[in-house]
Amino acid sequence: MRRRNNKIVYSTESGRIKQQPPPRKKSLPSEKQMAELMRERKGRGGKTVTVIAGLQLSDDDLKALAKQLKQQCGSGGAVKEGNIEIQGDHREKIAAELQKMGMKTKFVGG
């Protein structure tokens, strides 16, 4: 027997539901980028994660930057919903690395 895909594609309340955001095609130059660095713990079982948001990069560039930052910090991480998540509180290291690349950084949150 084949398994059915039970994902909702249409709802009478909100209409068509988007499955995935469209892939980003172009990246802005690093001089025009503003990276927002925040530390999150909610919904992660008390574990701290550094989130880099606000970057306008293509999907491939975003994955490459995430890989470089993970290596620089010596920890794991992922790219989720256009944001880079690095395990642990590495905001200062990440800010220094992004500033070397020519990006502006901003600490957001507490």
Structural domains for the chain: 21-107 (3.30.780.10)
Q: What was the pLDDT predicted at 51?
A: 96
Q: Would you state the pLDDT for residue 19?
A: 60
Cα 30 to Cα 35: distance, rounded to the nearest angstrom:
10
What pTM does this model have? 0.76
Compute the distance between CA of residue 18 and CA of residue 9 in angstroms, rounded to an integer. Answer: 7
- Which residues in the chain land under pLDDT 50? 1
pLDDT, residue 44, reads 86
For residue 30, what pLDDT is reported? 84
Predicted pLDDT of residue 28:
83
Tracing tokens 């690395």 back to the chain, one arrives at 97
Q: What is the pLDDT of residue 84?
A: 96
| Distances from the Cα of 10 to the Cα of 3, 6, 7, 13, 20, angstroms | 20, 12, 9, 9, 14
Q: What confidence tens digit (pLDDT) does each residue in 2-20 have? A: 556 566 555 566 666 556 6
pLDDT at position 15 is 60
pLDDT given for residue 38 in this prediction: 95
